[in-house]
Structure 1
């Protein structure tokens, strides 16, 4: 789900995580290992937050470690397999069942019952986001939802104004209008975004996942990718032979497309990366109402092997509820999950205001639904979906072959 660039630990003076699942000292001081994925900017913000925590809890020290998204999970998987997972770590919905099945995650409900972790004061029911089969395996730190990031200048010149409830037909007509009037593709190409396809399926009464497998058929995916291949060929979707070399720059900021689907809190990167004005547009619908959307979230989880579950819970509680942490983190981890942090940070920049307004509109319009459960292996399914969609778009695999290969890989991942 939230993938951002990583950076150097040395540049920040961070202490690398040591061995073991937490440690203690002769004077009663406890050391917790805390690991996450993200950029150097996120690391600086988290370091500032940790300094506040250690001031309030002088007997708890935090050792930190961070990497880019893919590297984080590679290292975490190795640590978890060796019984050496960090005491506290950043987590996401696609990994809860996977690592619960591997007996890695601490059920935090006991610590909540003991008063070390507050589960009240969350926005929009987010406190339930980390629940799996009655266990509390993660606590949300921020929320986000799928949105369409648009180049506002391109949309204005093309005479396109997306509004809540617009349909997929209207969306594709808008892309064609952009292509014809602005000389660039309408969209970067949404066909490989698992979380967007999930919304499309939910609009049709299905979902990407059930609790144990895939919630759609080969016929469904064949229809999705056949239409995508035709739109790439027509130029309504951007040419992947141009967008792939442009990475890590977005196809929108590289001026190869007028819009693309992503998580709403990622909107910050476009202003920093591009030359135009960028905004958030609503998800297209099938019936003018149902978007299939839910609030997603980054979470904090704890290791089942931690020697200090109380202190781990206290640290999570602080990072989730403390108002000063909310001010420091801003929207880096999404819109703050708790009312205390949401109220403490009021964005002054245009992009931040748009993100806040977008999520407020989602809540007030009552389009939000419960998130689809993610079975163990969901992360492998997402990687395969992106890879095969790209191969299909490049013409390296016929649609039928890409679909068949996807179901083969997904079924293997979900049964292992």
Structure 2
């Protein structure tokens, strides 16, 4: 090989070696970065060079709730500038389907708006973080929260959620219509009293009047009815039903008779109002409606009638069927990589006074006594009704049943399908009760 060829060959080899070194160096740098990059932390501290973290928060509701919650989130981010909140909100319809899709993809939000009927189901799927360590450490401060507001969110020693507010099953009544007809539904009034009152008003009304609006909440009403009979919908360990079949026969018979006699609306009328986003109580075609107590806030905003809250009807000689419950709660998902930041968010929504001035008890009466005392002089109208009602209903309650078991959604679906069939008079109360018992036990066993 001559000298020119040798120099050319050496130059080519040098370029080739340098190229190999460059590639090797780039690959090694990638590997080194991956190995030394800080793993996602659960302590709310730095996940990047600047210490900033982001949490996703999901909830359901209407536009007003969305607006209030977003405003409260701005206050939270101002107090914790290293935490950014990504909101994920929708209406009730589709909310759980969306969460189920996210759960299947191991991509649940950090903070989940939870309904107590779903709590055990999500817990059984290992999707919820135990909040007890955060509570014991004071990250979530429940020092001003009475146990009654949190008992239903417990699973043994585990805390599955923190209530966003408290409510109870109630009736919303149209004060104007009842007053015009000289009717008062005082504590202790019975189901028969309610039926007679609705028929009296209907007989004196020229236009459409449908009496007591079940509001598609017959399932919730039956919870109270069973408890008034000294029983419960589910047995204590959630492996079956906890009531005698005759109790359900009586309840189904009452619902069917109310539709027949005109003291309650037919199924198609009920659903036409629900699908249209309207309420009979708001347009005067019903005088009383089944509801959770905090629903009066939204109902009052859509009508010129004056609305009030009352106790559920009672059974002659029956027990107290109602209980104070979380209107809804916040849980932290096991998919969260920022559990400390998520806990701080829950604490803020529990205790921050300025945030509650914005939220206006939309999610129920605040569980913190300090917050309630702060808000009490500021609230009026429908919001004050919810505060007053929680004080009233406390004298007409008994301890809550254990959390509903996994499969509760299927049980509820079966119940409401049979209620629809009953209202159309296509099945007897006896056959409907037998069919429900069979279907529900098949789900639970």
* Short-chain TM bin: 0.7 to 0.9
Q: Gaps spanning 5+ residues in structure 2: where?
A: 1-41
Is the 2:119–2:403 contact (alpha carbons within 8 Å) kept by the matching residues of 1? Answer: no
8 Å contact from structure 1 (residues 322, 340) kept in 2: no
Separation in 1, partners of 2:283, 2:417: 21
2:167 alignment partner in structure 1: 144
TM-score relative to the length of structure 2: 0.82
User: Where does residue 243 of structure 2 map in the other structure?
Assistant: 216
Give 1:245-394 correspondences, 5 Å limit: 245-247=272-274, 248-287=277-316, 290-297=319-326, 298-346=328-376, 347-363=378-394, 365=395, 367-394=397-424
Structure 1 segments, 4+ long, off by >4 Å, are none
Distance in 1, Cα, partners of 2:401 & 2:182: 34
Larger Rg: 2
Instruction: State how far apart, in whole Å, the 1-side matches of 2:414 and 2:262 are.
Output: 25
SS of 1:301's partner is: strand
Answer yes or no: is the 8 Å Cα contact 1:190–1:196 preserved in 2. Answer: no
SS in 2 for 1:24: coil
Instruction: Supply the RMSD in Å over aligned alpha carbons.
Output: 2.4
Matches within 5 A, 1:7-406: 24-123=47-146, 125-182=148-205, 184-189=209-214, 192-210=217-235, 211-212=237-238, 213-247=240-274, 248-287=277-316, 290-297=319-326, 298-346=328-376, 347-363=378-394, 365=395, 367-406=397-436
| Higher helix residue share | 2
Q: Is the 8 A contact 1:165 1:288 kept in 2?
A: no
Aligned partners of 2:230 and 2:319 also within 8 Å: no
CA displacement 1:357-412 (0-9 Å, x = unmatched)? 1111223x363433443111222322332233123212354444533443344234
Q: Distance in 2 between matches of 1:310 and 1:257?
A: 47
Pairwise CA distance, 1:101: 0.8
Please report how far the alpha carbon of residue 265 of structure 1 lies from its aligned counterpart in structure 2 after TM superposition.
0.8
> TM-score normalised to the size of structure 1?
0.88
Aligned partners of 2:295 and 2:225: how far apart in 1?
20
Does the Cα contact within 8 Å between 1:120 and 1:127 map onto a contact in 2?
A: no
Structure 1 residue 191: Cα displacement: 7.8
For each residue in 1:16-56, what CA deviation from the matched residue of structure 2 results, as whole angstroms up to 9, or x when unmatched? xxxxx999332111111111111121111111111111111
1:165 touches 1:289 (CA, 8 Å); kept in 2?
Answer: no
Q: Cα deviation per residue 1:298-328 (whole Å; 9 max; x = unaligned)?
A: 1110012322222211111111111111111
* Stretch of structure 1 that moved more, 57-66 or 381-390: 381-390
Contact 1:178 1:185 in 2 (8 A): no
- Long gaps (5+) in structure 1: 1-20
Partner SS state of residue 176, structure 1: helix
Distance 1:170 1:366, change over 3 A: closer
Select between 205-214 and 396-405 the one with higher mean Cα deviation.
396-405
Q: Distance in 1 between matches of 2:94 and 2:49?
A: 35
When the two structures are aligned, how many residues end up with a matched partner?
395
